[in-house]
Structure 1
């Protein structure tokens, strides 16, 4: 395979509600490594980009719901899920490059891209560097443009994590990743959910524990170094900012900051969710995404038709 070349590699059993088999495909990256991704349904393109330490299958439930109306493309980022780490240095720039390679290989246009947590950082970095000509809309799920808190910036992680706290977290990741994953998993969800649904949390812990602690620490360090605040005002495309009212990751002020900073942003808050509304309220989440994606796709079609007549 050459860079950007795609192939079908194997069939996997989805964990979705329908339990249907889906085809896992591969796309060769510029350094020779292979990204695994799924390509479901038909219609306007939805690109779903997962968060740190997760994988594309964290979107299984909403993917089934969305694939009835959209073409849903779901990559596993490097060192996550079925995509190997490769030999390149693991950072946000590399993930953005990989995502651009996939978009080019599949010739995707008028994309509505959803970035959950670190996935939003990857999309912001890609757009800041390459522009948003290939995108119709952007959905940000519970993320801050700068995750570490500093003097004068308190809209990073709701725990108040600063540089020193991040350093301690990285040390813990490298020293005992399974223990770190077990402590991290419950904090992805609304407060109290872990006690009510221990089996669900145990499943998430098992999936997170499959990651390599060193790779996750490298990505965390890169994510923690990002400051995309100055780039936001130039991202002039329709944006939906999604948050969970009971998130332990970011507070409501962070979402308000994004709406104020992005030129065409609106917000929706899920009352019973934490950091992962797509897992906690999937039906409602899919409905919000569908409404937004249909609206921005219609606007993109109108824009293309107007351009065609003008030319």
Structure 2
């Protein structure tokens, strides 16, 4: 099936990343989270392409991009983002990351700084996703729960399906998903093989980008959007780590899809205020 604005960018020999590139105007790059694809941002593509150049990418080993046995970590994903921005000759760009896609942006900042960035939006991820002090720090979960997810659910395809299904219904949305919606979410995740999903899971969980988060909020306008279920801890953590970030609270982990009108207005207002 043809995808509007779909193209491939060669990152290195044997590795191509799929991107959608539509619209005209100031560029916005959307980066999906762990094992997800450009498809999650369909409502943002539709909305923002009316006023902006919108680029959405499948990271390596996600979606339509090349499945590789190397580079399945967020240091490499950050380097890949550098190459995508260079290949598309993007200037003064707004980067929007969801979940582990935020790690890609923080790694980009670690490698390139913020000189070519106009603004940043981070959707529902701590710059330090794992901590033994999980009652005060914004983390993905207690250490034992994260370890159990890695050792039990990411060791074969069936367990990966079970894991993402439970995560989708329990954390990503606030309403009951229809069967076809749940199948769509699960099938996106399964495009990344379980052994690569496990690598990315570990790489993400052991990341620590607190310094880059602080630098970002001091250098350019930053919006942090937090899901309601951990808002008190996440808001306090964000205010401590990146105090100049604007903070909004909305929905579940996939709020930009479930509550797309509210999210799009929120992001649009942020962009207009910082244009």
Scaled by the length of structure 2, the TM-score of the pair is 0.91
CA distance in 2, matches of 1:130, 1:115: 17
Q: 1:156 to 1:260 in 2, by over 3 A?
A: closer
1:114-148 Cα distance to aligned partner (Å, 9 max, x none): 11000111101110221011101000111101111
Q: Is the 8 A contact 1:51 1:118 kept in 2?
A: yes
Aligned partner (choices 263, 270, 275) of residue 292 of structure 1: 270
Q: Report deviation, 1:286.
A: 0.9
Aligned to 2:222: 239
Q: Is the 8 A contact 1:65 1:286 kept in 2?
A: yes
Aligned to 1:37: 19
**Structure exhibiting the larger radius of gyration computed from Cα positions:** 1
Moved more, 124-133 or 36-45: 124-133
1:173 maps onto 2:187 in alignment? no
Aligned to 2:202: 221
5+ long unaligned stretches in structure 2: none
Task: Name the Cα RMSD after superposition.
Answer: 2.0
5+ long unaligned stretches in structure 1: 1-9, 13-21, 299-311
Q: Secondary structure at the match of 2:154?
A: helix
Q: Secondary structure at the match of 2:224?
A: strand
Runs of 4+ with >3 A deviation: 151-154, 196-199
Aligned partner (choices 11, 14, 38) of residue 2 of structure 2: 11
What are the equivalent positions in structure 2 for 1:66-77 lying under 5 Å apart?
A: 66-77=48-59
Q: 1:238 to 1:55 in 2, by over 3 A?
A: same
Aligned to 2:184: 203
What are the equivalent positions in structure 2 for 1:46-61 lying under 5 Å apart?
A: 46-61=28-43
Aligned partner (choices 89, 113, 129) of residue 131 of structure 1: 113
CA distance in 1, matches of 2:172, 2:212: 29
